[in-house]
Chains A and B, each alone.
Chain A
Amino acid sequence: EAGVVQSPRYKIIEKKQPVAFWCNPISGHNTLYWYRQNLGQGPELLIRYENEEAVDDSQLPKDRFSAERLKGVDSTLKIQPAELGDSAVYLCASSLDQGGTMVVDTQYFGPGTRLTVL
């Protein structure tokens, strides 16, 4: 079974330029997450989708970041314009909503996109 797929793996851009990251979750997983991981830190949630709906985007800097998951499968995260402080690894994860009382399901991560803003 294929894991979470992300592209590109690496991206170098100049500040003020736009950038986009793409994620394809594990087949059948209805929940998709975007995380940002700064150097030497753990991942931090940016946005969580359940199917097409963004159910938690409280940590997404909405002035410059946007995300979409139009058909409830793959997703795109965009930054426009990028700033120096956006340099980080952007991770996508997916999980299968098991329902019931256990709200947080096991999450499986992709390899990430390492963004460098010059």
Chain B
Amino acid sequence: GENVEQHPSTLSVQEGDSAVIKCTYSDSASNYFPWYKQELGKGPQLIIDIRSNVGEKKDQRIAVTLNKTAKHFSLHITETQPEDSAVYFCGGATNKLIFGTGTLLAVQP
């Protein structure tokens, strides 16, 4: 079955800097890759997703890139703000969504 690995487990950046979180997946049949943001005491919130027929997707300060050959995808957050601080989860899916172990992002003001 699918296995998704996520790095780093923690990431601290200064406000205004960029943050990059990387994930790798094992099943070459995976075709859907969402990213969720989870704040303390809340459920995961979808922030961006990408399907395997595109290589990059952007939404304001957030972008995701997908390299199907290498089986990895990344989340890029530019001009980080303190409110971006949260745990971020990547996911990979064929017929079932498998999540990574999460990255705790801390944006220092």
Chain A residues engaging chain B, CB cutoff 8 angstroms: 4, 6, 40-45, 48, 56, 91, 102-104, 106-112
Interface residues of B in 34-73 (CB under 8 A from A): 34, 36, 41-46, 49, 51
CB pair B99–A44 under 8 Å, yes or no, is yes
User: Please, how many angstroms separate the alpha-carbon atoms of A111 and B38 in the complex?
Assistant: 10
CB distance from A36 to the nearest CB of B (A): 11
CB pair A102–B43 under 8 Å, yes or no, is no
Contacts of B46 in A (CB 8 A): 106-109
In the complex with contacts A42-B89, A42-B102, A109-B94 CB distance below 8 A: no
Chain B residues engaging chain A, CB cutoff 8 angstroms: 31-32, 34, 36, 41-46, 49, 51, 89, 91, 93-97, 99-102
A-B contact pairs, 7 of them (CB 8 A): A43-B44, A48-B96, A56-B96, A103-B93, A109-B36, A109-B43, A110-B43
User: Please, how many angstroms separate the alpha-carbon atoms of A103 and B32 in the complex?
Assistant: 9
- Among B42, B43, B95, which residue has its beta carbon within 8 angstroms of that of A104? B95
CB pair B101–A41 under 8 Å, yes or no, is yes
